[in-house]
Amino acid sequence: MNREMLIEKIENGERLNQAEGEALYELDLYTLGELADGIRRDKYGKKSYFNINRHINPTNICKDVCKFCAYSATRKNPNQYAMSHDEILSIADHSVANGAKEVHIVSAHNPEVGLEWYMGAFSKIKLKYPQLHIKALTAAEVDFLAREYDMSYDEVLDMMIESGVDSMPGGGAEIFDEEVRDFICKGKVTSTQWLDIHRKWHQRGKMSNVTMLFGHVEERRHRIDHMLRLRDLQDETGGFNAFIPLVYQRENNYLKVTNYPTGQEILKTYAISRILLDNIPHIKAYWVTASIGLALIAQEFGADDLDGTIEKESIQSAAGASSSHGMDLQEFVALIKNSGFQPIERDSLYNELRVH
C-alpha cells in the first residue's frame, strides 16, 4: 500500500492490519504526528489527564527472573525487603494526607510472604480509606499467585475484588510475541494467559490498563502485533482504560541493549498506538519511562494522559528512570500548561475531577 492510500485509510477512520501498521513506521514523523494529533483532538481537544496518585512497591523479592528487570533483589540488587502491613498503611496515610486519590500497588513475585500478605494489605487500606481507589496486582502477579497457591485465575481475581482491589494495572504484558518473551522473561505469564486474566477481570465488570515494553530486543512488527491483539480483546470486552507504551530502561539489568530507540522512534510508537487502537480510549505517556520532556511532546503525538504525580516509584527508577521521588503537583500542572495543554485532574476511571 502506498503512502497516500495509507493516509487516506486513517483519515477515513478505517482499521489497519498488521502490514499496514508496520508501514506506518515508514511515514515521516511530522505526518504521523499530524494524523495521531487529529485523532487525539477529536476525542479530547487540548485536555491532558493526570491523577494524584502514589506508587507503592511493597517487596522486591522475586521468584521469576526477567532479563530486563533491575528491581528484583534476587540478582543485581542485594537489598531485599518486604514491607509489613503497618508500613504499607503508613504510606497510604501519608499519601491520602497529600491528596492522593489512588494507590498503585505492584510488587515482585515473593514466594515467602504468603497470600494473606498480598490480600490483607488491600483489605486494610480499603477498610481505612473506602474512597481510595486501589489499583493493584498485574496479570503477572495474578499468574504467580495462582501457581504458587494452587488456585485458578478466577479464584485469585474474586479474592482481589473481595479484598478491595478496584482496577488492575497493565504491567507484565511486556511484548506478546512468545519468542521475545522466551528470551526476556522466560517462565513468566504467557501472552495468552495475560490476555485471559484481563478478559476474566473485564467480565467481572472491572477495568484495567495495558502496557507494552519496547525499545529492547523486539522489532517493530512485534509492537504492531502486540497492539492488534489488544484491539481484538478490547472489541470483545471493552475493559481497557488506557494503553501505556513503556520505554525500556537500560541500566542495571541483563539485556545489554545497545541499539536504544531514538526520541523519534519513541514518538512514532506513541502516534501509531493512537492510530491503531481506535477502541482503547486513552494513550498514556508514562513520564517515568519516557522522561517528562518527551512525555510532554508526546501530547502532540496522540497521548492524552501523563499518569500522575506518583510521589515515589521504585521499579523503573532502579533501572535508571528519574522517578524515585515523583513530581510536585504544582510543577506538574505548570509543565502541562506551558506545553500548551489543559491539565485535567481525573480519578482512576477518567472521571474529570478538576480543571487546573
**In angstroms, rounded to a whole number, what is the distance separating the alpha carbons of residues 49 and 230?**
22
CB 306 within 8 A of CB 287: yes
Q: Which residues pair with 240 in a beta bridge?
A: 208
Residue pLDDT, tens place only, 261-307: 899 999 999 999 999 999 999 999 988 877 888 999 999 999 999 98
Residue pLDDT, tens place only, 133-187: 999 999 999 999 999 999 999 999 999 999 999 999 999 999 999 999 988 888 8
Count H helices and E strands in the chain, helices first.
14, 10
- 331 pLDDT above the threshold of 60: yes
Instruction: Report the candidate in 42, 68, 104 with the shortest Cα–Cα distance to residue 255.
Output: 68
Confidence of residue 257 (pLDDT cuts 50, 70, 90): low
Looking at domain 16-355, its CATH architecture is Alpha-Beta Barrel (3.20)
Q: What is the pLDDT of residue 112?
A: 87
**In angstroms, rounded to a whole number, what is the distance separating the alpha carbons of residues 253 and 270?**
25
**In angstroms, rounded to a whole number, what is the distance separating the alpha carbons of residues 154 and 264?**
41
Of the listed ranges 74-83, 123-132, 309-318, the one predicted with least confidence = 309-318
Residue pLDDT, tens place only, 164-175: 999 999 999 999
Helix, strand, coil shares, percent, the chain, to 5: 45, 15, 40
